[in-house]
Amino acid sequence: MTMTTAQRFAAWLAPAMRRKGLNIDSLRGGGRITFAEAVGVSPSTVNRWLAGKNTPDPDKFELIAATLDTEGRDPADAAIEMLVEIGIISSQQATEGRNPAVRLPPLSPSEAADRLGFRDPVDREMFFGVIDRLTRQPRTASDQDSTGGAAAEG
């Protein structure tokens, strides 16, 4: 029989909670309540997760993984590992979104002005002028002052 996503999550969650030192084997142990408070859900929601009846909303994955991570990793990395272990995403999918070679296409000056909220025609012209000035001349080390800013022109 194939396990559901909720059952796979429960199979991951219980040992992760125990590794974190949360007592989940006794209703009076407090581990379920402590965990519920940490991730912003009710204890009954945690009980349903542990029973394999429900899965968390996706917006809770990172917080759950971060709360249970015992290695001090970046919360996003811990969440991705959790999703791979549960079988929600493959290890290939986990690495595809983190490819540093992937670059967004460059914005035109007009698109940048729009995204920055420059609506006034004068502000837009000043913005375009700054872009033109900075892209027209190559900058050298002598263009920088000792604090890393542009040297004043005289």
Residue 84 near residue 91, CB atoms below 8 Å: yes
pLDDT at 138 (0 to 100): 64
pLDDT at 88 (0 to 100): 85
State mean pLDDT over 55-65.
Answer: 92
pLDDT at 72 (0 to 100): 81
pLDDT at 26 (0 to 100): 81
Asked, for residue 25, whether it belongs to a domain, the answer is: yes
Residue 82 has pLDDT above 70, yes or no: yes
pLDDT band at 154 (very low <50, low <70, confident <90, very high): very low
pTM here is: 0.60
Total of domains in the chain? 2
Residue 153 has pLDDT above 50, yes or no: no
Do 87 and 120 lie in a common domain? no
Residue 53 has pLDDT above 90, yes or no: yes
Do 21 and 92 lie in a common domain? yes
DSSP code string of 2-55: PPPHHHHHHHHHHHHHHHTT---SSTTS-HHHHHHHHHTS-HHHHHHHHTTS--
Mean pLDDT (the chain) is 82
Do 92 and 113 lie in a common domain? no
Do 44 and 92 lie in a common domain? yes
Asked, for residue 46, whether it belongs to a domain, the answer is: yes
Asked, for residue 146, whether it belongs to a domain, the answer is: no
Asked, for residue 131, whether it belongs to a domain, the answer is: yes
The region, left, alpha or beta by phi > 0 then psi within -120 to 50, assigned to residue 119 is: alpha
Asked, for residue 35, whether it belongs to a domain, the answer is: yes
Do 75 and 116 lie in a common domain? no
- What is the residue range of 44's domain? 5-96
pLDDT band at 44 (very low <50, low <70, confident <90, very high): very high
Q: Kind and range of the H or E element at 72?
A: none
Asked, for residue 104, whether it belongs to a domain, the answer is: no
pLDDT digits (tens, 9 = 90+) for 115-133: 888 889 998 898 888 888 8
